Structure 1
Amino acid sequence: MAKTVHEDLFFLPKVDYFVHRVCMPDWVIERQLIDFHDLTYVVEGQGEYIVDDVAHPVSKGDLIYIKPGAWREAATSADKPMVLYAFNMKLMDKACQPTQLPLPLISKLERNPKVDHLLERIKQHVALREATSVMLTTALLMEVISEILLTTGLVQGSGSDPRVQKAAAFVMENIHRHISAGEIGAAVGVHPGYLNKLTMKNTGKTVSRFITNIRVNMAEDAIVYEGISVSEAASRFGFSDIYHFSKVFKKNKGYPPSTAKTLLR
């Protein structure tokens, strides 16, 4: 069952094995009974995972989650070898008891610059093997898991009500310009006043704050992970000018957009 916006989610991974693998054409995983969580993201190529003797074709953008106690085997396509990130890990809840992710065996993860960036940072920390690398890798993987749950809609929030989800999609599609509550209501098929009740119930924000939150979060991601300037972010995400953008950003985040890259990278 999906969590509500008022419940805490906590997943603490202990990574036993991590790899960024560029598969050779003859790459396989031999059949084995696993006692860990396998979380694998296919960046490129095609292949097949066989879980409990059921074959599942996988391709670019697929996220594979295999729970402990499953029989697992895999192979890549020789013509289109896979490039993948894979984690073998233990997983605990906030009481340090074994738990599992609310993910299906196979899900589609659309390209996400933030996830790409986090995975690259994990790769770097694993390669460095410094005293703090395990802590940093764990924190980054927790952020990857959080991003996956949010972007796939598996965590109840703006995605818990299809009308709020449609409202978020409309805002993102028209992020470059001013958007009124009336426009969103018309796109979703509800009165603006009722839309406000829906966003308050599902996200804890008024429609206006809901729109601003999406704008600011998308702008911050673009500044940090795409490297665009504050001026470009203001223009791309529908703010009238850089001064208005900076004021709204700081009010929402507690720091100016000019420092976001330094603080978050």
Structure 2
Amino acid sequence: MCSPEHFAVEYAINPWMDLTTPVDRELAVKQWDRLRETLVGLGHEVHLLAPEPGLPDMVYAANGAFVVDGTVYGARFKHEQRAAEAAAHRAFYEAQGWRFIAPNETNEGEGDFAYVPEAHGGLILAGHGFRTELPAHAEAQEALGRPVVSLRLVDPRFYHLDVALAAVDDANIVYFPGAFSTASQRVLAQLFPDAVVADDADAIAFGLNLVSDGRNVVLNSEAVGLAEKLEAAGYHPVPVELTELKKGGGSVKCCIAELRH
């Protein structure tokens, strides 16, 4: 995770960013602190990446890389405003001794990659259409040695996979069908017949931008309907408020890069 002490909406690179809407940075830091404390309280270890001035979106730490089996496939951002973040993430992983593979293709880390380790022997679900380029899916497969399923995003509101889909345990997902092309919807329905299916209201509330340890599902407190669906499916929803960070087009998952040994 990376503190939002430099967070601001200084440019608009997704439909949620509004330059006329002020950001309360102090509140953003408080809400982020509460998210971090929630994860620690659930028994998880949180590593911190130092924020850098001039990079207001560094708080969205999930976009900096994608980690599977101790191997890190680095990010290469689409927009120049975020490009310098990639080096900060690489330095973090290399300092930790992780095996780092530098990308040649445009991709935004866990923003567009999700890992479901026990689904069909272990699958990487990969989004494209707005940020990550399709050739990055093949590059990720070669880097990580796991089969990649390409999914086309078609609604600009859901510009990253992680605002439209999430793994809720090692074998299952939750997703919003309307974010995907018709063919990608068919692929998801075939691969995950028991998935938790979200609706438009869940997605607009950034409910799908969540993290789960297989039991506890930490999600945006505005996604009340999705929390009820997850509870009915046997999970334990843990709501957190992230109103300020939502102004940049992100929520819980965007703030968290998962380190998979």
**Structure with a larger share of its residues in helix:** 1
**Structure with a larger share of its residues in strand:** 1
**Same fold at TM > 0.5:** no
TM-score after normalising by structure 1: 0.31
TM-score after normalising by structure 2: 0.31
Give the number of the structure whose alpha-carbon radius of gyration is greater: 1
Pick 1 or 2: higher relative contact order, CA cutoff 8 A, min separation 6: 2
